[in-house]
């Protein structure tokens, strides 16, 4: 199994687990938020999808120029839209990984913000930080939203109280 095969498998597992969580959100709770400073459930769900959008530029270019003034985040108005977005971004991410080599995975990649280097790391590290770890972090937040809404929380790495 190559380095990229491992990354593909991890991405598939984490995305499938995220999908199980996102599917639990009823449309009527899409705009619910636990606190005025928090994302709504729909915004948090969209941000989970957004995490997948980093894979393509990470594995298809030497760098990504991020400009907060022009960058448009993934948005959805419905749970169905979030799930469609997740599936579409996952397909693009898998294709980008499939088109890369193990050598490229260890090669350098830069995030530029308004023309300045924000960081430079190996692509594999960027993938873990900007996609996998980021997705897992926000999926954990989303599981708390589900709990606060008294909805069954699906398993991530083992059964939850709702699945025993």
Exposure string (b/e) for 121-153, b if CB count within 10 Å is 16 or more?
bebbbbbbebbbebbbebbeebbebbeeeebeb
Span 3-148 CATH architecture: Up-down Bundle (1.20)
On the question of pLDDT at 41 being above 90, the answer is yes
Q: Determine the average pLDDT of the residues in 10-25.
A: 98
pLDDT, tens digit (0-9, with 9 covering 90-100), for 46-79: 999 999 999 999 999 999 999 989 999 999 999 9
Say yes or no to pLDDT of 130 above 90: yes
| pTM of the shown model | 0.94
């Amino acid at each position: 199994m190559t380095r990229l095969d491992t990354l593909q498998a991890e991405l598939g597992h984490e995305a499938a687990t995220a999908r199980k969580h996102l599917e639990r959100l009823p449309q009527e709770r899409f705009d619910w938020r636990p606190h005025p400073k928090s994302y709504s459930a729909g915004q948090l769900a969209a941000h989970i999808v957004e995490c997948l959008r980093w894979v393509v530029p990470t594995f298809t270019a030497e760098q990504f120029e991020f400009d907060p003034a022009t960058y448009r985040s993934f948005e959805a108005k419905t749970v169905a839209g979030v799930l469609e977005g997740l599936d579409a971004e996952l397909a693009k991410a898998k294709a980008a990984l499939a088109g890369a080599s193990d050598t490229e995975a260890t090669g350098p990649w830069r995030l530029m913000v308004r023309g300045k280097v924000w960081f430079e790391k190996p692509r594999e590290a960027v993938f873990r930080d900007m996609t996998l770890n980021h997705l897992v972090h926000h999926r954990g937040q989303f599981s708390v939203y589900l709990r606060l809404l008294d909805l069954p929380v699906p398993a991530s790495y083992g059964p939850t109280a709702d699945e025993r």
